[in-house]
Structure 1
């Protein structure tokens, strides 16, 4: 029975400004938290500190997937509805709805010092505003340390 206490790491990071769309940020996350390599078995939570952008995990190989995501989300949540909250522009309220639909956090298992994503999976920052600016996230990693 392993009685070694879990390790905990937490860090706030900033994603660079992105145009509206779906942007792979897996590498940015892993490079910002090198302590992942210390975890034998655990979890990483990535939590976005915004209400008009979101996070998701999906296909990381074909860039057409990113275009199709944007197309589908714009179809599901059009900007031309009769929104009441319009003070910050026509893309603001639809961005809030998209973020609520998709969610602002992802949790990924960690094993043997790496994220246990599937072969074709990556972490996406989903920018729903035309000019969203830099986005911040909190990374929280916990798990059993690798015995060395």
Structure 2
């Protein structure tokens, strides 16, 4: 019997729904992701968190109100929002796309002993860059 035969890989898929309220907003989704890890009953593996939207991002950082406000402000400073971008002729949201591409749309999180391996001050955030909107985050948990 091979090592693969002993350990059957499991997959667990869920969709989180998020309703944002502001044009740029950072939403803590740590508790929802942790809850899904518990629900998956996967003891050791990886949680893949993915946003299928081009004007959103996923980040890990500290959940401190001043820092969240600072990050929301910095998001608006990464690229000039008042510039005449070619894409603005279509949707008028080119900066949202550009910032989203800089920040990234997925996270890979390690699961050990049935829990997320996050640092002491780390939280998982969904970043809205073109709200308010109804959004979704896809979560796939893989492991044993």
Secondary structure, aligned partner of 1:110: strand
2:37 and 2:44 map into 1 onto residues whose CA distance is 16
Structure with the higher helix share, 1 or 2: 2
Aligned equivalent of 2:31: 27
- In structure 2, list runs of 5 or more residues that go unmatched: none
CA distance in 2, matches of 1:18, 1:69: 17
Give the match for residue 66 of structure 1.
68
- Normalising by the residue count of structure 2, what TM-score does the alignment of the two structures yield? 0.87
Report if aligned partners of 2:37, 2:115 keep a CA contact under 8 Å in 1: no
Match of 2:143 in 1: 143
1:32 Cα deviation after fit: 4.5
TM-score normalized by the length of structure 1 = 0.85
Written as runs of structure 1 = structure 2, the 5 A alignment for 1:70-85 is 70-85=72-87
Which whole-Å CA distance do the structure 2 matches of 1:6 and 1:32 have between them?
A: 17
Paired position in structure 2 for 1:97: 98
Runs of 4+ in 1 over 4 A off after TM superposition: none
Number of aligned residue pairs: give it: 139
> Aligned-residue CA RMSD in angstroms?
1.7
Return 5+ residue gaps in structure 1 as ranges: none
| Cα distance change on mapping 1:33 and 1:109 into 2, 3 Å | closer
Q: Is residue 124 of structure 1 aligned with residue 125 of structure 2?
A: yes
Q: Offset at 1:34?
A: 3.7
Mapped contact 2:48–2:108 kept (Cα < 8 A): yes
